[in-house]
A and B are shown apart, each in its own frame.
Chain A
Amino acid sequence: MTAMLAQKTHALRVEGLVKTFDVSAPWLNRLVERKPRQHLQAVNDISFEVPLGGCLSLVGESGCGKSTVARLVTGLYSANSGKMQFASGPDGKTLSAQMIFQDPYASLNPRWRVKNIIAEPIRELKLRKSAAEIDERVVELLKTVGLSASDGQKFPHEFSGGQRQRISIARALASEPRFLVCDEPTSALDVSVQAQVLNLMRRLQDEFGLTYLFISHDMSVVRHMSDRIAVMYLGRIVEEGDTEELFARPRHPYTQLLLQTIPNIEKPQRDRITAGGEVPSPFKPPSGCPFHPRCPSATARCSAELPKVRTLASGTRVACHLVQED
């Protein structure tokens, strides 16, 4: 695949992204307790591409750095190093990302009426001129996400979690984005509501040609949503591939573990993935392959040497010493 072609078909290309947090105690405490500065490597040398009009999902256990990637991509955090390149949209401007957040309660200002929440992006970005046009657009957006025009008069606390998430989606759509980052948009919702919101998001993707970077810890949700999946472990991507390929032939031992923990694909599982063994602390990542303390097929080489990312013939990229090109 040439670089030219790649630019056409990818909405976002990320290379070697690194984010470290300074989690040191205040300097006075450090001085008194003689502790060094402490850094937390939340995202470690991550590269991926999001197909234009498609959906790339990031999956992984709690604390593996999914939200940090989301915030890096949207620009809420700035990366320590690495490159991020958004493709340009039909209007020639580079795409900018909007975000749908996990917590349907904290993501809407409790003191604002819903119509004002949805109108904020329209006003800020000056997408409509007159007040009447803004009103009209707000009603249109409310209908798009399956709410009624009169819901605009209400306050967020008058809605259920699923409805609030619809409002969040309407607000994100109000800025007329091409790229949406969805950070676990349904993990706070009831199973039945989850499916409705996910279906709404699929429909909107087709309708508006949206590109999604979708984040979840739930493999069955991810399967429903994505074209490609990137599996994260401790700040790194350990395997990335097309959804069906990854489900049919998981190559990395961690991916295999994740897939085993799905009890029933038809019934989405809401609990966090609990694979065998403890997740190591991101402060002191294990030497070599970060997964080796929990890996059933670990060898001596695994604890000494970090496995390189290898691209297989199927297009899957995987970082494991045991996976050989086939």
Chain B
Amino acid sequence: MALLEVKNLTVDFHIPEGILRALDGINFTLREGEVLGIVGESGSGKSTTALAIMNLLPTPSGKIKKGEIFFKDEPLLANIDKLRGKEITMVFQNPLNSLNPSLKIGQQLIEVLQEHMGMNEKEALLESIETLKMMGIPAPETMIDRYPFEFSGGMRQRVMIAMAMLCKPQLLIADEPTTALDVTIQAQILRIFKNLRKSTRTSIIFISHDLSVIAQIADRVLIMYAGKILETSEVKNLFKNPLHPYTQGLLKSIPAFSKTEGKKLYSIPGNVPNLLDPPSGCVFHPRCPYIKEICKKAAPPLFKVGNSNVSCWLYKGADEL
């Protein structure tokens, strides 16, 4: 069953230079219990997708222009204030900004449980310690008496995940939860997510620009580029049989994947487009090795190829969605 359904979502930012369309009619579903990876380069619209779902787009510049979001078949935005923090939680891209620096970690966790779960202080304390333990924080009984600044980056990220998991949400959105961390710490955090998917029923949207991380954690993947979803695929399929030329290029340019002679890597030519002045037709056409006349004129619809969806004219003739 679909837990979350995003339909034709379009988000604009009104900035002094004009209107920037950060999301241009994206469609996807999140199934119950799955880990959905969202991959894309900087500015492709990953965080905007997350913030739109949470109804936390920056005001007044960010606006949902079109589209709908359903959570368990109900319109989400009408109910989000009740759901946020309890049923739907988020780990933000910058963890420093999202903990209160002047409150002890324990207090922050306990407040969440008191507010959303109606626990008394003692129950909330025990539950907080239990959750911190689950995140691999050593000696949580003493850690709860510390302030955020006394924690390292990796420990702070664990606390953030603990906070997001406290109320056993149905949906957790994690926005680049390992990007700022060293690789050994990243591996520890990924381990936590791997354990979460085994031990809880929480569905997870895991955002990252790193395909290697996504390969390790996701069940299904969305490939985003310039405010569009170019491809949706099961993770194994995506790596074995990438459909979109952009996905193919991204995979080929990973050093560990490289099949080129010597030290040179495959590289996608050109630059990421400016969203204030996006390309006509397919957003990827200026960089695409397979460009055809139609690609400059019309944005391709989603075609269904096997179990994947791809937005590319190369697959014209396949079933249109």
Say whether A associates with B: no
* Residues on B facing A (Cβ under 8 Å): none
